[in-house]
Amino acid sequence: MKNIKIIQIIVTLVTVVFFTNCNDFEEINTSPTAVGPDKVQIEYLINNSIIKAQQNPHIAERMFILNWKAAAHYETGGYAITGSDINGWSEDYWKDYVGTWINLAQQAITLGTESMEAGTAYSYTSNLVQIARIWRAYLISEVSDNFGPNPSINAFQGENPDSYSLQEIYHFIIEELEDAQSMLDESVDMSSVADYDYMLNFDVVNWKQYANSLRLRFAMRLSEAEPSYAKTAFEKAVSDAGGINGFVNTLESMPTVPEDGGWKDLTRVMSRPWNRQFLTATMSNITFGLGGVPSRDLATVPGTSVYNLSAEIFDEYEKPVHDYLGLYLPDNIATAVNNPAKGHFFDGIPDKIDPRILKMFALPGYDDGTVMFRYDPTGDAYTVKTWNMESDTALFNVRYSFNAFTNGDVGEKGSRTDKLYWSYNQPHISNVYHEGPTERVWFGPWETYFLLAEAATYGWNAGGTAKEHYENGVRISFDYHGLSEFAEDYLASTEYSRAGTSVSFDHTDEATSYTINNYDPYDETAGTVTYEYPENFGSVTNNDVLSKIITQKYIANCPWQPLEAWNDHRRLGLPFFVNPAAENILPNLPGATPTGVLESKRAFFPQRLRYPVSLQNTNPESYDQALQYLNGEDLVTTPLWWAKQ
């Protein structure tokens, strides 16, 4: 990864807040030049926007973790997962955060343009303006992907802005990125301002790569809604890039920002100790058995959750994921759900799992020294008691159990235990993401490759074959996690995950149901059950090439790109997401009854966040425009224009 010099910049800015409460659409009509153009250097404005967009702990918990990660099934909490949201969180993000970030970028564009017109610009000013345009384009996409139609395109232009449709917004973003990257001048010396860009040191080559990769992302966003435009925009980006080196394609070219501790804008986005960020049933199904790499092989790899775990422990606690489903606890674990492992608790170490999971998630009951965060040194938490509806009891050890629970409403079943659901007993996000060292990844090179792979499957010009791009995406994801030694065996694997997907690009046979073992801890008897691979509303097959590509993109983007993972699921219905459990009816999700959730449906997953109430109160005209473009009610379940309908 690039070495970014950390410096302390103190910039005094009188900024105007996006969508804050006032009479004329909440000060969005205030000109950015009001800050005093003679007193502000535009490189400070850009860097301040980047730093603030890192999200301090207040907004990071509310947006990055409890909205984005929850909606992406990268973590088990959050309200959006059951069709709700918190207006206060959206208010904070809308007016106190993302609006400020966009405003700072807009100020940089306006002041830089004015200085060039006045003949007072520096040699590098034009490049800074183009970089600010690229960054603003990303920020506009962020607010648009959260809420839908909005007025961010013409915010901070000195006029009261109207809302725009998502089609207009995305055309603007794509065209803005194309134009801005074309105007970047690599011959200009940027060294005098390099230290004022925490992300890419104002390296023009890197910013052009980032812009071109964003063009791929946003063109692909329209693949379902406007495929002809999407294809043209995508292929233009491929042509302009002039080859893979014109995109973010290496770990060195990856846009990242170093994170820190404490409580500030650069604090780690996943740092709060009470946000354990447990492994989800969705991620468990996707990765159990995937790739065929033995978990015990990871015991020699530093930074994994099984590092230095003894062979004796593996011999005692390892369980074969293809032959054993777990403890059968239908009175304690949700069964009103379409999870193929519903009602089961996996009481052991999976013998095979995607190795990246063991870098990202802790093994309950084992303190590896790096990944573990919630460890009970007394061991008391790992002895669990449960009771069934007949008041029979079961007592068992859950140490070393890599089990993931289904989110949603588990009803009374969740209360028939003492410690089963304790945080000690769930795989949680690595302590590295809490305490560092970390750099927040804004665009991983793997995403470039997976976007190119997806495009190739559609017959678009992607500068290579789908298989080449797919395999390179997997390889560089493994490189990022320090697992490159396992990549080739992983890529050759034809073993199915619990979701019915394999890794090998050429292996597209569909998995079929089979008999799998389980164990009843109440009767203390072994049994069997028919394992049925899931049926997904997003695809009639589980092992087709597109499912493979999006599955790998989903794993690779974890945990840094939850918004993009959510975007892919909204756009394609991929990969397979487990419905929220509904032992009781979920009132905010239409049809989410105990029987309804047995079938995969788009309606059971959040599609957006509702507009903040302040928008309705302060500018009802703009709010009404946004609703017209939304073409639906202001609900979490209303799909966006570009999403799978």
Residue 434: CB partners within 8 Å, gap ≥ 6? Answer: 268, 270, 271, 272, 273, 373
The per-residue pLDDT for range 267-307, each reduced to its tens digit, is 999 999 999 999 999 999 999 999 999 999 999 999 999 99
Could you give the CA distance from residue 167 to residue 301 in angstroms, rounded to a whole number?
47
Which three-class secondary structure state does DSSP give residue 589? Answer: coil
Residue 22: CB partners within 8 Å, gap ≥ 6? Answer: 618
pTM of the model: 0.94
Q: Which residues of the chain fall below pLDDT 70?
A: 1-40, 155-160
Could you give the CA distance from residue 379 to residue 582 in angstroms, rounded to a whole number?
32
Which three-class secondary structure state does DSSP give residue 354? Answer: coil
Q: What pLDDT does residue 35 have?
A: 45
Return the closest-CA partner of residue 462 out of 249, 244, 245: 244
Return the closest-CA partner of residue 426 out of 376, 351, 388: 376
Could you give the CA distance from residue 193 to residue 626 in angstroms, rounded to a whole number?
39
Q: What pLDDT does residue 161 have?
A: 79
**DSSP per residue, 179-195:** HHHHT--TTS--TTTGG
Q: Is 148 left (phi over 0), alpha (psi -120 to 50) or beta?
A: left
The per-residue pLDDT for range 313-334, each reduced to its tens digit, is 999 999 999 999 999 999 999 9
Q: What pLDDT does residue 154 have?
A: 84
Per the CB < 8 A criterion, the answer to whether 8 and 47 are in contact is: no
Give the angle subtended at the CA of 574 by the CAs of 506 and 545, to the nearest 5°: 15
Could you give the CA distance from residue 639 to residue 589 in angstroms, rounded to a whole number?
13
Per the CB < 8 A criterion, the answer to whether 3 and 439 are in contact is: no
Give the angle subtended at the CA of 437 by the CAs of 435 and 443, to the nearest 5°: 110
The per-residue pLDDT for range 391-403, each reduced to its tens digit, is 999 999 999 999 9
Q: Which amino acid is at 263?
A: W
Q: What pLDDT does residue 160 have?
A: 65
Q: Which residues of 425-449 are buried (b: 16+ CB within 10 A; e: fewer)?
A: bbbbbbbbbbeeebbbbbbbbbbbb
- Cβ neighbour number for residue 73 with a 10 Å cutoff: 28
Q: What pLDDT does residue 8 have?
A: 32
Q: What pLDDT does residue 29 have?
A: 37
Could you give the CA distance from residue 418 to residue 413 in angstroms, rounded to a whole number?
12
Q: What pLDDT does residue 404 have?
A: 98
Q: What pLDDT does residue 266 have?
A: 98
The per-residue pLDDT for range 161-219, each reduced to its tens digit, is 799 999 999 999 999 999 999 999 999 999 999 999 999 999 999 999 999 999 999 99
